[in-house]
Amino acid sequence: MSISHLIRDGHEGLARISCLLGGAVWGVYWIPLRALDANGISGIWATALFHLIPLIVLAPVIILRFGQIRAAGPSLQLVGATLGLAMLLYSTSFLYTDVIHAVLLYYLTPVWSALLARAWLKEPITPDRVVGIILGLLGMLVILNVEQGFPWPRNVGDWMALASGVIWAVAANLMRRHPNHSALDIAPMWFLWCTILSIVSAISLQAEPLLAPVEALTSVLPWFLPIVLLVVLPGYLAITWGTPQLNPGTVGVLFMTEISVGAASAALLTQEPFGGREIVGVSLIVLAGLAEVILPAMRRTGRSLLGRH
C-alpha cells in the first residue's frame, strides 16, 4: 500500500472517530437539558441557551476569522442555517411527541444522506454502506424496543423529527460539497443560526417569558460553562471537521452512537434498564459503524489467503 493510501486511510479513520465522538456528545445532551428544565429554562429556550453560550464563547474566533467567514460566502451560511434548523427541529420534536418516535424518525437520516449523496454528489451507495445502514437501524429498533413495528409519523412532533433528519442529510451533503469550509467557521455559524432560529421559535411557540429569570441563569452558568467548554464545543468541532471527510450516509450511521451512549447514560443516572436487549442493540450499532472498515478488510484477507493457495 502506498504512502498516499496510508495517509488517506488515516485521515478517514480520524474523521470516523470525530463523528463517533460527536454522536457520543449528543448521547448525553439530555443531561444538561434536563438540568436546565429543572432550573426553569425549558423547551425551546433551553435549546437557545445551549447554543447562545457557545456562540458567546466563540465570539473572539468569529471576530478574528471574520474575513474568512465573509469570503466563504452564502454557502457557509447555508451550511450553518441547515445545521441550526435540523438541531432546532430535533430538540423541539421532544416537546410534541415521545422520545422513541423522535429518535427513530430522526435517525432515518443515514438513508436520506446516502440517497442524496448518490443523486447530488454522485457518490456510490456501496454494499458495505447498505449493510452498515441496515445494522444501525436494526440496533436502534432493538434498543428502543420497537415491538409493534415502525412508528409512522402521526403528529406534529413526529413530522418535526422526520424533517430534522432530512434537513441534517442536506447539511451533511452541503459540508461534503464544500469541504474547504473550516470547522472553526462552520461551528460558530451553526451556533449562530440555531440561536437565532430558537429564539424566534420560542417567542412564537412558547408561552414562557422572553428571558429566563436572572436567578435561573446565574444558577446554571457555574456548571453549564464547563460543560460548554469541555463537552459541547469539542463535540461540535469534531462533527464539523469529520463530516466533510466522509460519505454523508456513513456519517449518519456513525452518529448513531448517540443512541448507545444515551441508553447507557440513562441506565447509569436514572432507573432506565440496561440489559440483554440494550447490549444487543449497542453491539449492532457498533458493527454498523465498523462495517465499511471490517468488510473490506475481510475481503482483502480472504483474497490474500486464496492467493497463497
Lowest mean pLDDT among 7-11, 137-141, 217-221, 246-250: 7-11
89, 104, 236, 239, 263 from 187: Cα distances, Å: 18, 26, 6, 9, 27
Q: Is residue 176 part of a domain?
A: yes
Check if the beta carbon of residue 165 is closer than 8 Å to that of residue 108. Answer: yes
Q: Is residue 200 part of a domain?
A: yes
Q: Is residue 142 part of a domain?
A: no
Round to whole Å and give the CA distance between 213 and 218: 9
Q: Is residue 275 part of a domain?
A: no
Average pLDDT over residues 7-19: 78
pLDDT above 70: residue 293: yes
Looking up cell 441534517 gives 168
> What's the total number of domains in the chain?
1
- Residue-range definition of the domain harbouring residue 79: 27-124+152-245
Q: Is residue 7 part of a domain?
A: no
Average pLDDT over residues 113-121: 93
pLDDT above 60: residue 43: yes
Output 91 or 218, whichever has higher pLDDT: 91
Q: Is residue 191 part of a domain?
A: yes
Write the pLDDT tens digit of every residue in 182-195. Answer: 999 999 999 999 99
Per-residue pLDDT, 291: 83
Output 69 or 219, whichever has higher pLDDT: 69
Write the pLDDT tens digit of every residue in 132-178. Answer: 899 988 888 888 777 666 667 888 989 999 999 999 999 999 999 99
Provide the whole-model pTM: 0.87
Check if the beta carbon of residue 226 is closer than 8 Å to that of residue 160. Answer: no
Q: Is residue 291 part of a domain?
A: no
Q: Is residue 264 part of a domain?
A: no
Per-residue pLDDT, 5: 45
Output 295 or 249, whichever has higher pLDDT: 249
Helix locations, 65-98, DSSP H: 66-72, 74-96
pLDDT above 50: residue 224: yes
